[in-house]
A = this chain, B = another copy of it.
Amino acid sequence: MVYEATASAPVNIAVIKYWGKRDTKLILPTNSSLSVTLDQDHLRSTTTSRADASFTKDRLWLNGKEEVIKEGGRLHTCIKELRAWRAEEEAKHPNLPKIAALKLHIASYNNFPTAAGLASSASGLAALVASLAALYELPQSRSDLSRIARQGSGSACRSLFGGFVAWREGHAKDGTDSLAEEVAPREHWPELQALICVVSDAKKGTSSTAGMQATVETSPLLQERLRVVPKRMLDISRAIEARDFDEFARITMADSNQFHAVCLDTTPPIFYLNDVSRAIIALVQELNRASEAAGNGLLAAYTFDAGPNAVIYAPAANMPAVIAAVDKYFPQANAFANPFQVEKAPLPAGFDESVVHGGWEKGAVKQLIHTQVGDGPRRLDDAESLLNAEGIPKTLA
């Protein structure tokens, strides 16, 4: 009998940003956040977990490279807690196979290159938790599992759900109420799409773990942000409920800007946006201005995480114009994968070329990824297992 499960989990991109911990060990945030889950058909982490009596210690491979599971570290904590839940089940149900005591081999793989600069820790930790929960046949809810994922990597908790997901900051000291909840499933607003613009940056950025605590410790403006976020959470939840893209876009852009503002108010200041990022912002602004001037709503919304990459959200109907504009001002070295077979549309009438910062060479935006709102973690067939018969990643065998 092989005790094994394989699961995949999605990337999520926040529209209300998480930046700052009130408890760095439990990973409790200073404010609630909200994200859109992106489609696993395009971007995903896949993890296989196997328990076997022949294994002599817990081992984990990430993209084929073995990682150390540090005692007391984040990975260790996640594995330990899920194993403890399995042990509880085994104690309650004596007929269950005794697999909590067995050592684990875990292999995880991201289908997007690390070089793309997309945070892989959220999808990776979510896939780990989902595969272990499946292996252990845990009865806990996804919100319960999100508390475990949160301790692996804060924003990973949001990748336990599809659609639109809130991470409630919670108030309990032990973090039991700091978990993810679905605000709306993908089916509620399936037209929402995302265009990821992968931006080159020579500069090595500040890690988000270090950066957010520097902000907590030194930014006076963060205090005001913490007063601002609760209303934004309500407002954007209502906008999602109403599928009101204008309101969704306004809040998304304002919150991205405010997140980068508190980074800049940090000592020493943290910069994630570069001149290409600024140019993408100017381009989206002008698309929106021209669209509004023509009596229509906003075309698109930008958001930036802890790096120069832009994620542009737009309804499917607006994407052809967005892609045409991005492709015009940021010429691509290679034709981009176009899963939706989008035909480029003309720029909106009245679009003012003079306000966009042009003249970018090929490679300033080095890759475009077009995707859409997606579902939560998926249990995959055994055929998708990443481990061979000996429990070693197939890619290494």
Contact = CB atoms under 8 A, between A and B. Distances in A.
A214 to B, nearest CB: 12
A267 B257 contact: yes
8 contacts: A221-B262, A223-B224, A250-B267, A254-B267, A257-B266, A261-B265, A274-B275, A274-B278
A190 to B, nearest CB: 29
Give chain A's interface secondary structure class. helix
Contacts of A275: 274-275
Interface residues of A, number: 32
Contacts of A84: none
A30 to B, nearest CB: 15
A264 interface: yes
Contacts of A357: 202-203
A258 B253 contact: no
Given A261-B265, A268-B285, 11 more contacts: A202-B357, A220-B224, A220-B225, A221-B224, A221-B262, A223-B224, A257-B269, A261-B264, A268-B281, A274-B278, A275-B275
What 5 A-B pairs have minimum CB-CB distances, sorted nearest first?
A: A224-B224, A261-B265, A261-B261, A261-B264, A221-B221
Contacts of A267: 250, 253-254, 257
Contact of A265 (B202, B250, B257, B285): B257
